[in-house]
Structure 1
Amino acid sequence: MLAGRYRLDDLLSETGQGRFWRAHDQVLSRAVAIHVIDADDERAVGLMEAARASAQIVEPRLLRVLDIENDGRICYVVNEWGNGTSLDHLVAAEGPLPPRRAAWIVDEVAAALVNAHDHGVAHGRLNPENVLIDTTGSVRLIGFAVEAALYGLGSDRIGIDVVDLVGLLHFSLTGKWAGLSESGAPQAPREQHGPDVRILRPRQIRAGVPRVLDDLVDEVLNRPHGRHAGPNTAREIHEVLSAYVGDRSGLSDEMAQTSPVPVIGHKPRPAPEPEATVAGLPVFDDTADTSDRPADTSDADWFAPREDVPAPPPPLEPAPERPLFAPLPADGGPARRARPGAVSAAPPEPATDSASYWPFDATPEEAPVPGRRWLRLALALAGLLLIVVAGVVIAQQLHDGGPDQPGKGTSTSSSASASSRPSARPITGTTALDFDPFGTPPTENSDLTPLAVDGDPTTSWRTSTYRQNLGPGGIKSGVGLIVDLRKTHRVTAVRMAFAKAGSEVSLYVADAAPKSAADLGKPVATVTAQQANQVAIDPPATGRFVTVWLTSLPQVAGGYRAELAEVSVIGTAV
């Protein structure tokens, strides 16, 4: 995690130029690219300056610089993450591109360089690997100014950009790289002309390359042998390519459909609209005499207003009122009457208890079964007798259990010893030592250990801040704190207060303080700590030293750290 914000997900490359990560910005919830080098690297100053210069360029074709930082330990630059296909992969998968499509891609790169060069900023390492055709069909440049700084190149490389720009056109047309910057693409073939070496023109490698593109490549890459001075800036190259590409809306539909990525600016030719039928059009007669028509008629011959306007429909009659309850019978009889043929029951007796409110007929009581009452009484007496006999047997065993004086004093002595045993309480006068058997040196903020047993929850002992959590995959399997009880105690519980929940804690009780992790033995309890904890030791453990062993730490700003504000051991002296 960088700056408490960027989660490093995938290490994409690790070379002498530093480490390149795909990361996730947890604040804005988006993928980013991060270049990282050591803060004491001699390129760190140039990298920071290149990132600032790139961030000043307002250009949609650049993958923008989002953040830069040098915290004294590392120096890193955060860029936009681009999804798409780089130019070297595109040509490797499809072969050399059609001339007009190749010219359009390089023209997009040229337009971005014109904007940047006007501000005095160069890419510095323009090659097919740093040209991206993203998923929307747009051309984006990777590592603008930052890539050159990571390779220790200077910032004044505008002239190199011009040659590399034409090298991109040569590569798009032939699949061979002819620029000045390094690239993993196959190098363009060359031929010897006396003492000089000349790069083969695109038309010498591939048939069908238009003359205007072939001349542009040859005049820039083989300038001493060109018949004309040729373009000297990215703007001049942009003008040549724009004139060749022309109106982008003129791209054929077939070219746009066969392209593996969307073509920016392409507008398919609209299909011809079908002719309207005669039946679908109103008939107008501009030459007809309309002086005898009413003023509110239209010019359409087929339209004429009605002379007899129908009367409006009658209003709806209001719904009849309905009472909420049914009216009482007019003859004064009861509201509810028995159905014809039903047997009328005798009027009930006046209510004398709550059972009379039950609305249904009462169920007659079941006739008692002869002898059932005596059977229940006998079972109850047998159970009571069994309990009395068991109590007598237990009392006899307790009374006769003493080996020295059978039948005398054993129960009294046992109960007296139990009553005389002191109750468990917090043990006072304890001291604490840090325990870091895997550290070099083996210390873990030893000056803060007294704060964990001083009785003040506002002070705390804390571990170091780790960039990676503890555990089997971490730098250490654990760190901890040893509490010295000053003498042997029977430990029944341990109270702990943490500044933040989330620590994985194992508790150990021993007669001697551990010197290594192997000395810890078997834990008496293991918990995931909350901010306030009381961990019961069941069964109680006996010993002088209680070790609080942390095997996982909660996440904080900058890494992982635990803060133990207070630890108190509950038990009785042995």
Structure 2
Amino acid sequence: MSTEGQRIFAGQYRLDVQISSSLNCPMWRAMDLLLKRWVTLVLLPTSDLRSVKLLQESQAAAANDRRDVIAILDVISSGTITGDFLEDSRESFVGIVFEWLDGESLDQLLIKRGEGFDVETALQQIGIIANTLAYAHSLNIFHGRLRPHNLIFSQGQNVRLSGFGLDSALLGSDSTNGVAQDIKDVGNLLFAMITGMWPLVSVDTLPAAKSANTSELLLPSAVHGGISSGVDQIYRRTQTGEFSSMRQVIDALSVGEVEVVENLQARVTRFTANSVSWHPEDGSNTSRFKSISVAAIAVAIFGWIGLQLLTSNFQSADSVEESISSPLPDIVITTPTGTGEQVVISGISTYDPFGDDTENEDLAPLAIDGDTNTAWTTVPYRLATMSKSGVGLIVDLGAETLVTKVDLEFTSEGHIAAIYVGDTTTPDFSTATKIGQTDGLSNVASVVVKEPKISRYVFVWLTPDLPKAKSGKYQGGIAEITVFR
């Protein structure tokens, strides 16, 4: 197959069309040229600090081989995009390859339907999701950030779960307690599937279900009629921490399904049991009078019942409208301003999560000693890609400090570095804030922060490709780091 005029990632995946995504990174439908099949390809520059966690989370999630999970087929730690019409680019990407699935996400399906699922169907579908998560939990794998776009429905309405190792790495986990968060999110998905809205905030393309009383938990029955107290109770227990395992959620959902069916059967039974069949004798005036009297009484009774129901419905509609309408307060955002003073750096250490956790650690202080003739350097590498996503330094400012600018001097041109700020020496790469990046055109660079951040640590992350050293191998080096408040 000719690849002329095409974009090929890592020599194997031909990029076809870019897919709309809320993950803040490119997602493509791609053709696996080796296995001749369509795949979903997520690309994240190795210069993005989130790439470290993305690799870690995806490698762990790949062990989940359950069929109702969209499988991870390949994990590529560093690859480039090539093509005849592309300029020579040194940018490399982490690539996560998922199986391709034709279908619609839950939010797309709800918008298309214009209404939520019936309660029985919702309980059944959420039960499938809960079983899927229970299996993942048995492997010590947690989703951590379930949203409507993670539920994919095929044309046969079979539901499958996506986003393991992806959403939490790129967007951050909602909680450090994986089991508790997944249980809470299962409840939120049940809420959305029944009501067509997401609790309290707008998520994906679904509107927010809001309550005027923010001190109380908003229940599904408050925004949608016909929902039993049993379903409300299941939702409440997922949100308040009463369930300690996904198995307990599964059991409760099973009971909920039975109650829905039994309630329906009971209503039908009551209706048929109270039906009256009456046959008057022919030619009987007394019977005719009784018939007319009974009919008149029945009309009066049913008319009164209808009036009560109509009045009740109008009142319910008003209460629903009141419960879901809540004015949002005006938010005033102020951006802190700096003084331009140089920050006294408290300490510095290397950061090498894909290596041996140390990269010439003893040389790190040379990057903050005020002498540009001394430098911290990486170990020499045979390949410019280092065979990993990067390596770097963590600068300790001693306390939370406003960071407005970071000046860097490298040992040579050709250094591509991403600069982040954070509040821990073991950062969650998905939530660390990137404040800038160097272009490698010069050995000196000044990163000015557009929106100054208050943080304790500054991360200088060297990404592939490293410049070539005089020895013929590839090596990075930082002579001086200066931080300004």
- The two structures have a TM-score, normalised by structure 2, of 0.46
Larger relative contact order (CA 8 Å, sep ≥ 6): 2
Q: Between Structure 1 and Structure 2, whose CA radius of gyration is higher? A: 1
Judging by fraction of residues, say which structure has more helix.
2
- The two structures have a TM-score, normalised by structure 1, of 0.39
